[in-house]
Amino acid sequence: HYQRRFRHILIDEFQDTNKLQYAWIKMLAGQGVEGELPTMEGGSVIAVGDDDQSIYAFRGARVGNMADFVREFAVTHQIKLERNYRSFGNILDSANALIGHNTKRLGKNLRTEAGPGEPVRVHESPSDFAEAQWFVDEVKQLVRDGTDRKEIALLYRSNAQSRVMETALFNAGLPYRVYGGLRFFERAEIKHALAYLRLLENPNDDTSFMRVVNFPPRGIGARSIEQLQDIAKTSGCSLHDAVSAVAGKAGANIGAFVAKIDVMREQTTGSTLREIIELVLQHSGLEEHYKLDREGQDRLENLAELVNAAESFVGQEGFGRDAVALPVDELGVSLTQSPASQGLTVDALDNPSPEFLAPDFETGETLSPLVAFLTHAALESGDNQAKAGQDAVQLMTVHSSKGLEFDCVFITGLEDGIFPHENSLLEAGGIEEERRLMYVAITRARKRLYLSHSQTRMLHGQTRYNLKSRFFDELTEAALKWITPKNQGFASGLSMGGNPWGDASNSGAAGARKDWASGIFSSQKGGSYGNSERFANPIVPPQRDAPAHGIKVGINVFHAKFGEGKVQMLEGSGDDARAQINFTRHGVKWLALSVAKLTVV
């Protein structure tokens, strides 16, 4: 019936069809059960697609369908649309050279009559933080030169890569929009993890309790939760405190959840912020839940990035990586145990060690690393995303960018294991799929294309040294302009066996993060990371036994936010040096000298 009814068939985006869809098309076109394709008298089948843009294998798309169509439908005339009206020549030459390394393709060569245009700019950064600051500086310069922010796009391979970029844009006051997705701290898996962390800090947080009481699913139904809410409302207490009054199976299931929270709180007492988050991700069941999800890889990467966010945060705020982030009462006193039972004295509670705490720069309130991080997450998850129609920088994954085009495109994180993704190395045809993905990314650019890679990047809270992406070796050298000196292999000539900066805690990446946090990176054209000489000679951080930044006990200093004060005490050395300062208007505060900008009065 349908074969007689539909004599002319047109299939668009054919490169995205899967095996079942192709079989259905052949049946509709009149293919017999023996596999022979009879002539369609007076009919036609037209397939429109670009096999070089087949990037949905993870959804079942089969790139081979196009070649099979040519063979099985005996196509004698292929119409190749090779003239490109979007991009300049250097951009197209880069795309053509790259995709030419794929073996299983029909083949085409894009061309333009618009001329070569500007060269493709290649940039190397010492760290992911420096990469983000470079991006912000370039955006500011483009805007000053007359480019609309909405014509600037940042593309990345995985959603988790957006966090560092979002933070840099947020700090610079640049409006941005995450296209086709959510900002980092607004993603569901991140909100779940933060809810668990908030319950460690405050078990009476009913909003967080409701979010994760049955996530991952643990057999607590809506009726049980309603019963708990009714008891809490009647008793005038929190959901946590009302659990003991819930009877039966419902009470047992909810009680088990509360017990899990209490156990995690006790286990994390004395832990660093990174250790707390890693334990919560494991023992809450979030990691296992997403491992069992067929499409959970992206969410797992976001959770791993949350660990990176915490590790970066404690450094930027002057806590130090080893600072204890005790979850409750600033020293992690479990609500199920007394201070004495944990060996803590009343004096210890009244006078917590300053190394555990840091001032909130807006209120002057002393916060533990955990509380400070939760406050930071709340601020960044606020209503900061650009409104619809607002002139804003566009952030998106390469998959989300398909079909779009922008005057200026930045492709970041071009390192092996990131782009191409590490999973592609284990899959048949994986590298060719990643190459097609890179081809799509390159061809989003109309006028300017920037390719960026980093010497180091945070992964699971650790600094990792990366090989630059193999795709750089597949591009046309004549079309490229290396903004920073071109190096081989590792981004700065590193070898797998060594760290050129010595102690990892004093690495160039760590130094770059501290510079980024304290505003050393200039936002003006030609700033600290605006010229290539800085990359030829990476930042060498001070030695651990260096003088405490020229600050001495008894001198008067000036701080931009806290005003004038007198140094009362010094401790630590090098990057770990701290000063206790009595500010005239803000009282006594501990400041990390590597972060605080102090001027001797």
What is the chain's mean pLDDT, rounded? Answer: 80
Work out whether the CA dihedral 561, 562, 567, 568 comes out positive or negative: negative
**Domain locations along the chain:** 2-72, 120-182+391-536, 186-329+354-380, 556-600
Residue 515: HSE in the Cβ half-sphere, 13 Å Cα cutoff: 28
- 22 Cβ contact list (under 8 Å, min separation 6): 62, 65, 68, 69
pLDDT higher than 60, residue 78: yes
Instruction: Let me know if 189 is exposed, middle or buried by CB neighbors in 10 A (0-12, 13-18, 19+).
Output: buried
Report which of residues 185 and 315 the model is more confident about. 185
CATH architecture of the region 120-182+391-536: 3-Layer(aba) Sandwich (3.40)
CATH architecture of the region 186-329+354-380: Orthogonal Bundle (1.10)
What pLDDT is recorded for position 384? 57
What pLDDT is recorded for position 388? 65
pTM of the model: 0.68
Q: Rg for the chain (alpha carbons), in Å?
A: 28
Span 349-370, mean pLDDT? 48
pLDDT higher than 70, residue 45: yes
pLDDT higher than 50, residue 343: no
Model confidence pLDDT, tens digit, residues 295-341: 798 999 999 999 999 988 887 777 766 777 654 443 334 333 333 33
pLDDT higher than 50, residue 490: no
Closest listed residue to residue 198, CA positions, set 264, 256, 245, 242: 264
